[in-house]
């Protein structure tokens, strides 16, 4: 989907994504000291807003102007306007201003073909300060056959090994890399249906200091 298609999708509902953070983003970031964060493909800003509430100063970037406007409105109504900078740009090509680095770079559910994914992952790494953390959370390739929901195009699914491969040649320390299950409750009208599991890949690395 291009930016115009995402604008239409974001304009069609109050919230495309949940208001709260993804369970793995919350788990992996809760123990990090607040600093400067970069939320790439931020959408409506659920993670940027959550980080800002925890004391982070966040740059939230997305190519959908509609999504960014929705996030900005929530931030302004929550007293977080000064904590978040909203940037309209493509996560695969954007680079921070000269001299600007981040303590955390987040890529959550940016589902792209391999070449574009690699550009986004390496760009996020390049934006980190030495010692900074890169967190990638995405629909795992195995979710297509073993899980529920998510994209049905295998080209945009990935594994932790794929993400680590994207970082080949860049000095980093792996904190966590693997597949994790996420409980998905049945939708409306399916009260008797059991909860199912969605499978995500979760990768957290730190840029090597020095």
150 with 182: CB under 8 angstroms? Answer: no
The model's pTM is 0.89
Q: Where are the beta strands (DSSP E) in the chain?
A: 36-40, 57-62, 84-88, 102-108, 128-139, 172-184, 196-207
What value does the mean pLDDT take over residues 140-152? 95
> Percent of the chain at pLDDT above 70?
87
User: What are the residue boundaries of the structural domains of the chain, listed by start?
Assistant: 3-207
Given pLDDT bands bounded at 50, 70 and 90, which one contains residue 107? very high
What value does the mean pLDDT take over residues 56-78? 94
Reported CATH class of domain 3-207: alpha beta
Q: How many CB atoms lie within 10 A of CB 183?
A: 9
Alpha-carbon Rg of the chain, whole angstroms? 17
Residue 3 has pLDDT above 60, yes or no: no
What value does the mean pLDDT take over residues 132-149? 96
Residue 195 has pLDDT above 90, yes or no: no
pLDDT value at residue 188? 45
Residue 87 has pLDDT above 70, yes or no: yes
């Amino acid at each position: 989907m291009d930016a115009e298609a995402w604008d239409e999708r974001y304009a069609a509902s109050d919230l495309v994504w949940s208001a709260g953070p993804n369970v793995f983003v919350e788990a992996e970031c809760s123990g990090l000291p607040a600093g400067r964060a970069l939320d790439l493909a931020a959408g409506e800003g659920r993670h940027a807003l959550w980080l800002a509430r925890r004391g982070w100063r966040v740059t939230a970037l997305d190519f959908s102007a509609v999504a960014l406007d929705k996030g900005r409105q929530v931030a302004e109504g929550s007293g977080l306007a000064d904590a978040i900078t909203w940037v309209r740009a493509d996560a695969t090509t954007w680079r921070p201003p000269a001299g600007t680095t981040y303590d955390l770079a987040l890529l959550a559910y940016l589902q792209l073909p391999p070449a574009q994914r690699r550009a986004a992952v390496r760009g996020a790494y390049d934006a980190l300060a030495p010692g900074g953390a890169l967190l990638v959370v995405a629909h795992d390739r195995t979710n297509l056959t073993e899980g529920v929901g998510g994209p049905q195009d295998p080209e945009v699914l990935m594994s932790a090994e794929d993400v680590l491969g994207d970082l080949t040649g860049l000095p980093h320390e792996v904190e966590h890399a693997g597949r994790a299950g996420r409980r998905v409750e049945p939708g409306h009208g399916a009260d008797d249906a059991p909860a199912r599991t969605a499978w995500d890949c979760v990768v957290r690395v730190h840029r090597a200091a020095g």
